Amino acid sequence: MILPEFEYKKPKVIKKALQLFQANRGDAVYLSGGTDLVPRIKQRLEKPSIVIDLKNISSLNKIELSRSWLKIGANVTIYELKNHPFVKDNLPALADSLEATACETIQMRGTIGGNVLQNTRCLFYNKSDEWRKAKGYCLKMGGQVCNAVKGAKMCFANYTSDNAPALITLETQVRLSGVDGSRQIPLAAIFSGKSDRPFTLQPGEILTHIFIPANKTRGCYLKIRVRDSIDYPLVGAAASLKNGNGCLAIGGIGAKPLHFDFDETEDGWGERIAREAASHVTPVANTVLSPTYRKKMVYVLVKRIVRKLSGEGC
């Protein structure tokens, strides 16, 4: 499959990138590592007339540690981030999720910003235009009904970032820059909850930085996949704990990571959040493993995380 023709720009500053986007509204996409975007363009899931490459914007390439935050530029690669000493020593959930992302060669190309903003996926959606046309366009492609859940008027594509759930458990915030200036919001707030249009970002807004509170945490990330060497999560579960207060997040099922707060001192907290998390997910038959199984695995993974956090091992 070849890439269609498009204009390619590589601005050096955010302002220029925003201007380029505004001048080509509806036809422009931002590119960073490209590991998610380029296959999407090849499959004609995106049809940009202009691709704005953000890799030359040097302010997005740095990791900075201050007293209160670990500030990560959106262009920082998964590989760079997983090898950062602060992440290794203090943010075990994120260290795990970065390690579990794709494979090492892709980690060296893919960026943390792109990983968080990756589009939702479905067996019936991530296909060539010819395949999708033959099948009949689904809701996410502008059709009338879902192809995975026959006749459904709702999209069930899965958000499959390994890292977003881990970041959510760490109370991560993101900075977004747009034509009207920049804003900083919790990471969890960028999700619309709708699989067909998963993000709340304004058109043209750029996720520039990720801010993680600079605290020492306990935690971990576990995922279910068929192939260990390289696979998106079929279920992902992350938890982080600081001073007895914890957050659990579930990814890989549905439009966005679901998250649940817990208090380590509460009696039976582990069983409670495991049940709660499993009861809130609604997997459907749109991945290579059965939905019943994936729902069960939410409970299993959470219980494992709980055991690990309680010092019992996975």
Partner 1 sequence: MTLSEKIGLRATITQGGLMENHKVIGQRVVRSDYLAKVTGQACYSADLKLPGMLVAKVLRSPYAHARILAIDVSPALKIPGVKAAVSGQDGYGVKWGVFRYTQDHDMLPTDKVRYVGEDVAAVAAIDEETALEALHAIKVEYEPLPAVFDPVAAMAPDAPQIHDAYPGNINVHVHIDVGDVESAFRESFIVREDTFRAAGEAYAMMEPYAVVAHYNSGYLDFWMPNAGPHVRAKALSNLLQIPLNRVRVRHIFSGGAFGGRSEVAPGDFITALLSMKSGKPVKLVLSREENAISSRQVHDIVATIKTGVKQDGTILAKEFKAIYNGGAYSSTGPIAASIPYYVYEEAYRFPNVKYDGYRVYTNKGIRGMYGCHGRAFLAGNEVQLDMIAKDLGIDPMDIRIKNGLTLGEKTATKSWITSGNLAEPTQKAAEKAGWSSKRGKLPKNKGIGMGCVAIMTGFPMGFRSSSSCYVKLNDDGHATVVTGIVDNGQGNDSMAVQIASEILGLPMEDINLVSADTEVTNLDPGAYSQAATFAGGNAVKKACEHARNQILALASEKLNEAVEDLDLQNKMVICRKNPEKKMPISWITREAFFRAKPIAGIGSYIPKIDFDREWISKPFGQMAGTYSFGTSVAEVEIDEETGKITMPHFVTAHDCGKAINPMAVEGQMEGSVQQAGVAAITEGNLWDEGFLLNPDLLEYKVPLACDMPDIETIIVESNDPEGPFGAKEGGLTVRMNAYSAVACAVSNALGVQFSELPLTPDRILEMIEKKGGDK
Q: Do strands 206-213 and 69-73 pair parallel, antiparallel, or not at all (unpaired)?
A: antiparallel
> Residue 77: beta bridge partners?
111
Residue type, 152: A
Q: Considering beta carbons, is residue 125 or 211 the nearer one to partner 1?
A: 125
Residue type, 17: A
Verify binding: residue 289, partner 1, rule CB under 8 A.
yes
Nearest approach, Cβ of residue 105 and partner 1 (Å) = 11
| 298 within 8 A of 278, measured Cβ to Cβ | yes
Distance CA 232, CA 252 (A): 8
Ranges within 181-240 binding partner 1 (CB under 8 A): 224, 226-232
Neighbours of 176 (CB within 10 A): 19
Q: Considering beta carbons, is residue 44 or 175 the nearer one to partner 1?
A: 44
User: Judged by CB under 8 A, which of 47, 62, 133, 197 binds partner 1?
Assistant: 133
Ranges within 135-174 binding partner 1 (CB under 8 A): 135, 147
| 8 within 8 A of 38, measured Cβ to Cβ | no
Q: Which stretch, 2-10, 51-59, 188-196, 242-250, contacts partner 1 (CB under 8 A)?
A: 2-10
DSSP of 161-222, one letter per residue? -SHHHHHHHTT-EEEEEETTEEEEEEGGGGB-S-SSS-B-PPTT-EEEEEEEE----EEEEE
CA angle 68, 71, 77 (to 5 degrees): 150
Q: Considering beta carbons, is residue 15 or 133 the nearer one to partner 1?
A: 133
Nearest approach, Cβ of residue 123 and partner 1 (Å) = 5
| 236 within 8 A of 258, measured Cβ to Cβ | no
DSSP state letter for 118: P
User: Judged by CB under 8 A, which of 13, 131, 261, 266 binds partner 1?
Assistant: 131
Query: Residue holding tokens 């299993």?
Result: 300
CA dist list (Å): 39 to 32, 35, 126: 13, 7, 9
Nearest approach, Cβ of residue 225 and partner 1 (Å) = 9
- Print the binding letters for residues 32-71 with partner 1: x by CB under 8 A, - otherwise: ----------------------------------------
- Print the binding letters for residues 79-118 with partner 1: x by CB under 8 A, - otherwise: ------------------------x---------------
Nearest approach, Cβ of residue 134 and partner 1 (Å) = 3
Ranges within 294-313 binding partner 1 (CB under 8 A): 296-297, 300, 304
Q: Considering beta carbons, is residue 119 or 173 the nearer one to partner 1?
A: 119
Nearest approach, Cβ of residue 12 and partner 1 (Å) = 31
Structure tokens at 79: 């590989």
Closest C-alpha to 204, from 73, 50, 71, 58: 50
- Site for partner 1, rule CB under 8 A: 1-2, 4-5, 103, 123-124, 126-128, 130-131, 133-135, 147, 224, 226-232, 288-290, 292-293, 296-297, 300, 304
